[in-house]
Amino acid sequence: MAGNILAMCRSRRWCSSDRRAPARLKEPGARIQEPGGPTAGRKVEFSAAFYSICRQCVDVVNLLAPGSFRRAGVRTRAMLPNSITPLIEALKTVPGIRAIVVGGSRARGNEDAVSDTDLGLYYDAEKPLAVEALDRVVAEHDDRKQSGLVTAIGGWGPWINGGGWLQIDGAAVDLLYRETTQVEAVISHSIAGHFEMVYRPGHPLGFLSSIYAGEIAICEPIWDPLGRVANNKRRLVEYPEALRRELVRHFGFDARFSILIAEKPAKRSDISYVAGCLFQVVGALLMVLFALNRVYWLNEKGALRFTDRFQIVPARFRERVERMWESVRQDPDSLGSALGIARELNEQVVALVEQEGFSA
């Protein structure tokens, strides 16, 4: 049956997922045709189970620019550098590692020639990963052949946790520790519409706790012998509507407030303060747009460019944000012009929020 499922998907009979149009998934209960084998041509029901299997594929198709679609099941393995395969096999032997996943741009499908490879290492708190053993594995495979390249658990502080920045055959490979109980708790909170926003180095806007849920939702498991990652992914097949609503409400207010408090400093040519407020405005609007489009927020890096793929977004949003930054100079007129662009973008995002049935 699994083979037939994959064959059906590849035959494009379940949705319109191609390079020319957004994918539209058939509704559960629809009749679909077996594409091949002894039952070729037979009509079968597109069940709710099938729907849940391919929904994530369709969501990805709708976000990818024309020409960049990769089919589910072959997206990540083909995109991983061959040079890191020995490292991945060695990581499986480290005591305490319960699952290994590919995350970031390589999982999402928007990596480029200089993208890092992000590997998530999931462990249980009661039997944490053996950092000394991990350090030995890394030292053997990293180009520098030295120890001390990975942190202790929690070495990068709360939420970020720990990991290491590796060089494998000249390419950057980032290891990130994730504790499964905390991740599962955050997923439950996210589904219920709760999140935390805390400052952490590397996240100039702040670390959004639901990033943990987003990492699970978009990751590609490489090794998940106990099925923990797979089970949690099933909880996130649909973007949590309660989280969507609360992110829109919270960051919609942040954007409006940041514009308001920048007005007087702009008249005083306080460029540092105004620039900081503008960064908050852009970041908050991005949070709102990601939520409106049901796309999990992972990182500030590349977020603005990612909006080019959204359906719910002000016209030329990225272009106008970049033009706003060109206006940031130390005189009242220039700062006032930049604030004017921010105000206009905010008003248009508010209109989109209201079109989606939310109060601004």
Q: Are residues 130 and 225 in the same domain?
A: yes
Q: Are residues 160 and 35 in the same domain?
A: no
Task: Specify the CATH number for the domain of residue 92.
Answer: 3.30.460.10
Would residue 24 count as lying in a domain?
A: yes
Q: Are residues 250 and 209 in the same domain?
A: no
CA–CA distances in Å: residue 162 to residues 43, 133, 179, 209: 51, 15, 10, 16
Q: Are residues 191 and 255 in the same domain?
A: no
* pLDDT for residue 32: 52
Q: Are residues 218 and 274 in the same domain?
A: no
Q: Are residues 81 and 222 in the same domain?
A: yes
Q: Are residues 29 and 106 in the same domain?
A: no
* pLDDT for residue 54: 55
Would residue 360 count as lying in a domain?
A: no
Would residue 322 count as lying in a domain?
A: yes
From 234, 265, 300, the end of a domain falls on: 234
Would residue 262 count as lying in a domain?
A: yes
Residues of the domain holding 15: 2-63
Q: Are residues 51 and 84 in the same domain?
A: no
Would residue 30 count as lying in a domain?
A: yes
* pLDDT for residue 172: 95
Q: Are residues 211 and 327 in the same domain?
A: no
Q: Are residues 118 and 221 in the same domain?
A: yes
Would residue 200 count as lying in a domain?
A: yes
* pLDDT for residue 8: 45
Q: Are residues 97 and 54 in the same domain?
A: no
Would residue 72 count as lying in a domain?
A: no
From 28, 63, 98, the end of a domain falls on: 63
Q: Are residues 204 and 251 in the same domain?
A: no
Would residue 13 count as lying in a domain?
A: yes
From 234, 260, 291, the end of a domain falls on: 234
Instruction: Quote the number of domains for the chain.
Output: 3
Residue 8 phi, psi dihedral angles, 5° rounding: -60, -45
pLDDT tens digits in sequence order for the chain, 360 residues long: 333 444 445 443 445 444 333 344 445 455 555 444 444 455 555 444 454 445 445 443 333 322 222 333 334 443 688 899 999 999 999 999 999 999 988 888 777 777 899 999 999 999 999 999 999 999 999 999 999 999 999 999 999 999 999 999 999 999 999 999 999 999 999 999 999 999 998 899 999 999 999 999 999 999 999 999 999 999 999 999 999 999 999 999 999 999 999 999 999 999 999 999 999 999 999 999 999 999 999 999 999 999 999 999 999 999 999 999 999 999 999 999 999 999 999 999 999 999 999 987
